Chain A
Amino acid sequence: MRNFSSLIDGLVFMPSRNGKLRLLADFFATAPDPDRGWALAALTETLVFHEAKPAAIRQLVATRTDPELFALSYDYVGDLAETVALIWPERPERANSLPPSLTEVVEALRAAKRGQVMGLVEGWLDTLDSSGRFALLKLITGSLRVGVSARLAKTALAEWGRVDLGDLEECWHGLTPPYAELFGWLEGRSDRPAAGQGAGFRPLMLSHPLEEEDMAALSPADYSAEWKWDGIRVQLAARGGERRIYSRTGDDVSGAFPDIVDHMNFDAVLDGELLVARGEGEIAPFNDLQQRLNRKTVTAAMLKEFPAWVRLYDILFDGEEDLRNLPFTGRRARLERWYDALRPRRMDLSPLVPFDGWGALKALREGSRENSIEGLMLKRRDSAYVAGRPKGPWFKWKRGALTLDTVLMYAQRGHGKRSSYYSDFTFGVWRGEELVPVGKAYFGFTDAELVELDRWVRNRTTRRYGPVREVEPGLVLEVAFDSVHPSNRHKSGLAMRFPRVHRIRWDKPAAEADRLETLQAMVVG
């Protein structure tokens, strides 16, 4: 358990993605089998056992500590697992007994009946140190929350084992914990494990932003165009009776979208955009979709109020047949034929957008102010479906951003490399005589500009709230954003999509910044 708990400790405090990758690689390189495999399973949430409820943990700790001292401690620490890990009274007579390995813990939990779990946990708490107890309690309550997605864990494995992440994703679904085969391959001791037969994730094909200078070199006849929908990219995988919905990074989000899973009564792997749609395909604003995201489960009320919809644009497998080597036009024909034959509910096809030359396409893009459209996608007609982000076959061409002159109101310190800089900026616009916050941005400026902004904030601070400084209303930030929607989470009643600092208007007086009415007029739908 020692190696696993120091990994968890390191990850909890590590702010940077690269740092996390290094900690994971160090762990995979040094932890023995099968400990490292079980740790990987814990990180990717593929472990299955009877989880312990927080109430059972509270009950257990009550048998071993003074209730008043526990209450004072819990009040101070704030997190149950951490309080219990720290306060657990160590028994001197157990000090010399060997703490369990992660493997012993996982194997015992997998074999245990529900009623036996807390007895096991009590014995382990007595032999572990406080880091070990914390890791154990996080493990048995079913969520580590150490800022590592399944995708990041796989990225660390691929980098450490010097294999292609796409190759790893291809075989991932066929693997089971503790992943002996996988580590054998990554350490060069055996061949790549066979690709999974089930509904595994197939790495997505991604696009590059289209730059104006690219266009001269491209021939319009080589490309098809589609609308770029303002939802989230998903892969629907239904194979051999198994149904999964994956996010673009390969995280399994099926549990959050039963209203789609219910209608996946086919055998295929499809690529498309997840949206919220009422009736037959009337797309709701992104804000509605947001209500359905980042949830493990979903209530009946949400299913009714924010019903999910998938707009399909590619097909990777039709039954057993791998279509990824077909050109785009070939796959598109297969997708249309497949859709016509099955007509799955809560899904439709993303239509092709016919166009005659770049000029005409540009006009179409500018005209597309519709709620659910972010711009256009260009897909090379002869391109195969390739994992990753090859330059050339797919381009995204977002419509022009909206901009607004806002006033800097608050600044907060960043994390990691930016921890000494005020780099997260809350900005507002005028409503009558007062400023109301309308958004927050933490990128869009250069390192040199950040130094200037940081200095400005430090010199113009009017109040401090912990890591946050309120500044005098004196700096205009021209903010760019993709769209703006009504929102009851902000005082201004509006929320921007993808706000970023477009220009710092050192020259412009704050009084001349925009007014809330201007932003309200930009709301669509």
Chain B
Amino acid sequence: MEPGGFHVDPLRPVERAVVTHGHSDHARPGHAHVLATAGTLAIMRQRLGEGAGAATQALNYGEAIRIGDVTVRLAPAGHVLGSAQVVLEHAGTRVVVSGDYKRRFDRTCAPFEPVPCDVFITEATFGLPVFRHPPDLGEIDKLLHSLSIFPERSHVVGAYALGKCQRVISLLRAAGYDRPIYLHGALEPICTLYEGFGVALGELRPATVAAKEELKGALVLAPPGAVADRWARRLTDPVVAMASGWMRVRQRARQRGVELPLVISDHADWDELTQTLEEVAAPEVWVTHGREEALVHHATRRGIRARALALVGFEEEGA
């Protein structure tokens, strides 16, 4: 991205990278120099080890630095711990790269901050008007209701290791669920990391070593790929739940063998995407990451110059 000589969330190793957040489709290994929030850098170190970057530089939200002719600032994106929008200013023009973001209240990360700008590069993971996430606590109530109807079955919730897992735990705690929550081994390190950043998650126990009897009627969190596969056989007749914005569409949930879909997302839904366009009031919008066509159509009808920016290599992690 000229003229600063750096790239935001580059897919291939580069000299200078600015990384919005720690999900693996954004935070790739092997860059020489990485600029990100302290939270994101900690996540990258944990997940990538040596690959997290030869040199790293932490930047607080709101703090500005100059790289070449460009002033760079990070603003909270509300997606996961440490997630940031990248605010770039050059020759009187301000460009904001949203990265992945959400607008809902989330106790586990700093809330999204709309930054008025000239060009807004927005994600569009849920860029169709059918995606309207219901209130989070209503979804948590569904889970607790199911636990009351099937008290002898363990409930296994598929949740991405970074962000979604901690958010679901935090919502459960907010709803008053104070029993131990069991974790698949892949989820433990990030939970510990969150706790180190001051996010309280209550009592967590490893599911892998727990006695079968102990898991009856218990809540277990596991990566989405594990909930309906061999790993889940250790559980007694589990209710398979999945926490994801995709669960809004029944057929999609059914394809994944989900019995209890929970529409809990770390991305903005359609209403929030369109509301954010109004708030940042950018005359020009680039749409990436998802269903660009509908959001471009919407923005154009609102008199905004909008176009789709196709990026390859991005996956659905963290949806």
Contacts and interface: CB of A to CB of B under 8 A. Distances in A.
A19 B259 contact: yes
Nearest to A415: B257
A72 interface: yes
A419 B237 contact: no
B261 A13 contact: yes
Interface string A37-72: 000000000000000000000000000011011101
Interface residues of A, number: 36
Q: Which of A78, A83, A420 has the most CB of B within 10 A?
A: A420
B254 A13 contact: yes
B229 interface: yes
A22 B150 contact: yes
B293 interface: yes
B260 A69 contact: no
A76 B134 contact: no
Which 5 pairs of residues, A with B, have the shortest CB-CB distance? A86-B130, A419-B257, A73-B130, A419-B228, A72-B294
Contacts of B257: 15, 413, 415, 419
Interface in B228-247: 228-230, 232-233, 237, 240
Given A15-B259, A87-B129, 12 more contacts: A6-B145, A12-B250, A65-B129, A72-B297, A76-B249, A77-B130, A79-B250, A90-B132, A130-B248, A417-B237, A419-B228, A420-B232
Given A82-B250, A86-B248, A13 B130 contact: no
B297 A22 contact: no
8 contacts: A12-B254, A19-B150, A22-B149, A72-B128, A79-B251, A83-B130, A419-B240, A420-B228
Contacts of A68: 294, 297
A417 B230 CA distance: 12
A319 B134 CA distance: 58
A14 interface: yes
Interface residues of B, number: 35
B128 A13 contact: no
Contacts of A87: 129-130
A126 to B, nearest CB: 15
A68 B297 CA distance: 8
A72 B250 CA distance: 17
Interface in A10-26: 12-15, 19, 22-23, 26
B249 to A, nearest CB: 6
Contact of B249 (A19, A72, A86, A417): A86
B232 A13 contact: no
B199 interface: no
A470 interface: no
A514 interface: no
B130 A78 contact: no
Given A13-B260, A22-B149, A419-B240, A130 B298 contact: no
Contacts of B145: 6
A420 B250 contact: no
A6 B134 CA distance: 14
Given A23-B149, A82-B250, A14 B128 contact: no
A78 B255 CA distance: 13
A77 B249 contact: yes
A69 B298 contact: yes
Contacts of A90: 132
B70 interface: no
Contacts of A6: 142, 145
Interface string A409-428: 00001011101100000000
B229 A420 contact: yes
Interface string A181-215: 00000000000000000000000000000000000
